[in-house]
Structure 1
Amino acid sequence: MAQPSKSPKNPGAADKTLIVLRATLEHSRFTDIVEASGLAKSSVHRLLQSLVDYEFVTVNEEGNYLAGPAAMALASHAFKNIDISERAQPFMRELARKVKCQVHVGARTRNEAVYVAIEESEMPYRIPSDIGDRLPLHCTSIGKCLLAAQSDDTVRKYIADVGLPRKTPRTISTANALFAELYQVRDCGYAVDDEENVPGIRCVAVPIRNHMGRVDHAMSITTLALEKTMDEVIELVPFVVETAGKISRSLGYWD
């Protein structure tokens, strides 16, 4: 995941205030804030006092600096108005052009996933899908990403509720096989669908994280099995990871 942009070489007064505010949101001890900001102690102390006065920063009993009520309120308003489909679309468009695959973003809703954003590729065919389409979690790449982010107990409940119905001869249909697949997803960071939900369709998906680091969405690229082998689809994973990282960053996630 990309880190926040570097500070300007010759920061002005406004730049310095933002540099100190960002450093304070990442660190609480004064010495760490000074080191992270790269500014003189006297400047940091003066700017911190201004941030405290305006309630963007507060100081606890131990003398540590924390996000203040003004910063918390500002963040709350910002996250309340986030529309992931609007945030994701420019990045999805770039990815679709790069990998020549259809791109989907999906969210979990109880025991299913649902498409919330779609970007078609420049290929001379369209893989049928619409915003609002619902997908099983155990046999789609987006679904596996979302399911892998849950606890084992939640996965067991899903299995008990849904029963792992077969969609194609390749569908995972046993609890042991599904857990093995999800452990692999957690380990490698991406999920695959090799004609497991729809015959002739291959997908790979990676998680998208929100400002809390939680996986509420996942993004996939989809292609025809006649067009690409599964190995060829997996070779495109770094591009999907990069794009998901950009979307996560736009949602407020810093790794």
Structure 2
Amino acid sequence: MSRGSGDGTVGKALEVLEEVANFGRPVRFNDVLAQSRFPKPTLYRLIQTLTNQGMLDFDPERSTYAPGARLVRLAHAAWQQSSLAQVASPYLQELSEQTGETVHLAQLDSAQVLYLDKRNAKQPVEMYSQAGKVGPAYCTGVGKAMMAFLPDAEAEKVIGQQSFHIFTEHTLANAEALKEELAEIREHGYGFDREEHEPGIICVAMPILTERGRLIGAMSVTSTTDRTNLASLEKNVPLLKTAADAISREAQRWSFPDHQKQQATGL
């Protein structure tokens, strides 16, 4: 079932909005229709509503739809108020400068990884991850680092939603293999991407946890097999830990409600 499919008209509209955004370019109605689960009249009505509300923008010359200005404003507000990105920004920059490598910040979005921020290495490398993109959780360092520290029931649910598509010869192929690796990550406190999503791309990743152990995100130091190896990346673990702890403290002071409730109740 698609996310939002059980949430009435609002859920359907958000699903269509996400479909349009995922094209990554202005798109025609028939392109959306070809992949949408909605019949043509329903899809047309939803797109018209989104356009009227400024969530989609229609170009009459090209007959294409794209994310609208209102959506951009909301996304910017969300970045400022509801994610780790703003809090983590100076720590990511410092970590990138210390390591000379690419640094990622991510959160879980349902069963996927949402990249919130990225700081490029001194010598940037082309790779899939970009701020605002979503990626698979089971074959990325940040994804596995986050899944390893979810509560058991939530972890089982997220693992069950993974596709286990084989991207490279190193990709974990099934839930059993993933669970074994997640147990190792919990034991050590950090994990790796061993060219599991993209050939030649490796990383060491660490969860960002509250004082009570609640997961709020993850970060990684990423490089290539042409430039380094996993053993060398692992030497950055102390720097990752320092940055993750600093982000956690700052985030809890800033906006995470469970921490505020615990302080109020003395838990």
TM-score bucket of the superposed structures, by smaller chain: 0.5 to 0.7
Q: CA deviation at 1:98?
A: 0.7
How far apart are the structure 1 equivalents of 2:185 and 2:193? 12
Report the number of matched residues.
Answer: 175
Unmatched 5+ stretches in structure 2: 1-79, 254-258, 260-267
Cα RMSD (Å): 2.2
1:108 aligns with 2:108: yes
SS of the residue 1:162 aligns to? coil
Query: 1:40 corresponds to which residue?
Result: none
1:91 aligns with 2:91: yes
How far apart are the structure 1 equivalents of 2:156 and 2:90? 36
Q: Is the 8 A contact 1:120 1:126 kept in 2?
A: no
How far apart are the structure 1 equivalents of 2:150 and 2:124? 37
SS of the residue 2:161 aligns to? helix
Give the % identical residues. 30
| Change beyond 3 A, Cα 1:89–1:162 | same
| Change beyond 3 A, Cα 1:158–1:252 | closer
Query: 1:186 corresponds to which residue?
Result: 186
1:252 aligns with 2:232: no
SS of the residue 1:139 aligns to? coil
Runs of 4+ in 1 over 6 A off after TM superposition: none
Q: CA deviation at 1:225?
A: 1.2
SS of the residue 2:131 aligns to? coil
Q: CA deviation at 1:132?
A: 1.1
How far apart are the structure 1 equivalents of 2:129 and 2:110? 20
SS of the residue 1:208 aligns to? strand
| Change beyond 3 A, Cα 1:131–1:189 | same
How far apart are the structure 1 equivalents of 2:83 and 2:198? 29
Q: TM-score, normalised by structure 1?
A: 0.63
| Change beyond 3 A, Cα 1:134–1:232 | same
How far apart are the structure 2 equivalents of 1:130 and 1:216? 19
How far apart are the structure 2 equivalents of 1:112 and 1:198? 16
Q: Is the 8 A contact 1:201 1:223 kept in 2?
A: yes
Q: CA deviation at 1:129?
A: 3.0
Q: Deviations over 1:71-114 (max 9, x none)?
A: xxxxxxxxx95652111111111110111111110010111011
SS of the residue 1:252 aligns to? helix
Query: 1:165 corresponds to which residue?
Result: 165
How far apart are the structure 2 equivalents of 1:81 and 1:129? 22
Query: 2:219 corresponds to which residue?
Result: 219
Q: CA deviation at 1:124?
A: 5.2
Query: 1:141 corresponds to which residue?
Result: 141
Q: CA deviation at 1:242?
A: 1.0
| Letter in structure 1 aligned against 2:170 | R
Q: Deviations over 1:133-192 (max 9, x none)?
A: 112111111000111112344333334333422111101112221111000111100010
How far apart are the structure 2 equivalents of 1:161 and 1:200? 26
Q: Is the 8 A contact 2:160 2:175 kept in 1?
A: no
How far apart are the structure 2 equivalents of 1:84 and 1:218? 10
Q: Is the 8 A contact 1:102 1:127 kept in 2?
A: no
How far apart are the structure 2 equivalents of 1:126 and 1:132? 16
Query: 1:198 corresponds to which residue?
Result: 198
Q: Deviations over 1:197-252 (max 9, x none)?
A: 11110011111124654112100111011101111111111111111111111112
Unmatched 5+ stretches in structure 1: 1-79
1:208 aligns with 2:186: no
* Larger-Rg structure: 1
| Change beyond 3 A, Cα 1:226–1:180 | same
| Change beyond 3 A, Cα 1:114–1:124 | closer
Indicate the larger mover: 174-183 or 184-193: 174-183
Query: 2:239 corresponds to which residue?
Result: 239
How far apart are the structure 2 equivalents of 1:124 and 1:158? 32
